[in-house]
């Protein structure tokens, strides 16, 4: 009977086997790592940026609108220049420059022009102006200022200052010499005067109709219109309506003085029912 030979595993026999197992283990781990990495990459979602698409048919109108906007903002024809502003109604052309500069319209874009704001500015700066109307066109930018001036009917001299008075009794500085206007000398009435300027103008008109030379008339705050008659008397007429009765009272008293030979220096006929006179002069 033969005996089987026993083989003992030695280091030489086990070595290759163990290396194969180690290699197989590393291979399995690598495969597992690559699988996890692949699964991770498959789970990542890339960020997408939506594309903005402008139809080419809209590009031409859009560019046209941009061009128009630039033209409206930049073109000189949209701004009010010196020659684009005209002034009408002036009797004195040399005042045109002052009107244009005072209006505060020059240099502004049409979209920022407000002609209504120019009207009170001009009325405040130009007292000889009765009314102002300002209008502006759309394009090309042009504006017109229409002025209605006050018409003087009387010149008033107060010291060395000359004023003009219009038919409404409004006083304003004289613009130049007007020898054709009748002249009144004296203190210009204050607004709270018992004889306001409008009432004095009414009295002047009536006395002028009676033949009283206006250049011989003066004005007093307390007595209104004062006239130095041909006899050298100072006659106080007051102002306003009722001047016809006062004129008749003056003529009556002048005739009485002529008959009696009384020399009177002051005669006050403001109140026909209570006429007063003085031999001497106190005013």
Domain-embedded: residue 47: no
Is the preceding omega at residue 16 within 30 degrees of 0, hence cis? no
Residues belonging to the chain: 283
Domain-embedded: residue 137: yes
Are 167 and 238 in a shared domain?
A: yes
Are 99 and 111 in a shared domain?
A: yes
Domain-embedded: residue 36: no
Helix extents (H) in the chain? 11-43, 56-74, 96-103, 115-125, 197-209, 243-260
How many domains does the chain fold into? 2
**pLDDT at residue 279 in the model:** 84
Domain that holds residue 122: 76-149
**pLDDT at residue 69 in the model:** 62
Are 144 and 157 in a shared domain?
A: no
Domain boundary pick from 149, 171, 203: 149
Q: Is the Cβ–Cβ distance between 257 and 264 less than 8 Å?
A: yes
Chain CA centroid to CA 203, Å:
38
Domain-embedded: residue 45: no
User: What CATH number does residue 244 fall under?
Assistant: 3.40.50
**pLDDT at residue 254 in the model:** 94
Are 156 and 97 in a shared domain?
A: no
**pLDDT at residue 23 in the model:** 47
Domain-embedded: residue 283: no
Domain boundary pick from 126, 149, 172: 149
Q: Is the Cβ–Cβ distance between 250 and 203 less than 8 Å?
A: no
Domain boundary pick from 149, 181, 198: 149
- 10-residue mean pLDDT profile of the chain (283 residues): values are 44 47 52 56 57 65 65 66 86 84 81 84 88 86 90 90 90 88 86 86 91 88 91 93 94 93 92 89 65
Are 137 and 108 in a shared domain?
A: yes
Domain-embedded: residue 92: yes
User: What CATH number does residue 127 fall under?
Assistant: 3.10.20.310
């Amino acid at each position: 009977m033969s005996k089987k030979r026993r083989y003992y595993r030695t280091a030489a026999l086990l070595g290759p086997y163990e290396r194969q197992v180690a290699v197989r283990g590393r291979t399995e781990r690598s495969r597992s790592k690559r699988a996890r990495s692949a699964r991770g990459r498959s789970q990542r979602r890339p960020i997408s940026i939506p594309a903005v698409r402008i139809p080419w048919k809209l590009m031409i109108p859009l560019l046209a609108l941009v061009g128009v906007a630039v033209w409206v903002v930049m073109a000189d024809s949209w701004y009010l220049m010196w020659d684009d502003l005209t002034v009408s109604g002036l009797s004195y052309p040399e005042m045109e420059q002052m009107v244009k500069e005072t209006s505060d319209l020059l240099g502004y874009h049409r979209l920022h022009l407000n002609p209504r704001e120019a009207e009170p500015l001009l009325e405040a700066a130009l007292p000889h102006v009765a009314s102002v109307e300002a209008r502006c066109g759309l394009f090309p930018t042009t504006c017109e200022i229409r002025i209605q001036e006050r018409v003087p009917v009387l010149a008033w001299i107060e010291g060395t200052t000359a004023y003009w008075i219009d038919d409404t009794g409004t006083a304003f500085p004289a613009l130049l010499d007007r020898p054709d206007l009748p002249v009144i000398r004296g203190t210009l009435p204050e607004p709270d005067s018992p004889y306001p300027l409008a009432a004095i103008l009414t009295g002047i008109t009536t006395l002028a109709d009676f033949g009283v030379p206006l250049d011989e008339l003066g004005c007093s705050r307390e007595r209104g219109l004062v006239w130095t008659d041909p006899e050298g008397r100072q006659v106080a007429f007051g102002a306003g309506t009722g001047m016809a009765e006062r004129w008749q009272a003056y003529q009556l008293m002048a005739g009485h003085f002529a008959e009696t030979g009384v020399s009177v220096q002051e005669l006050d006929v403001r109140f026909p029912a209570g006429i007063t006179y003085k031999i001497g002069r106190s005013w």
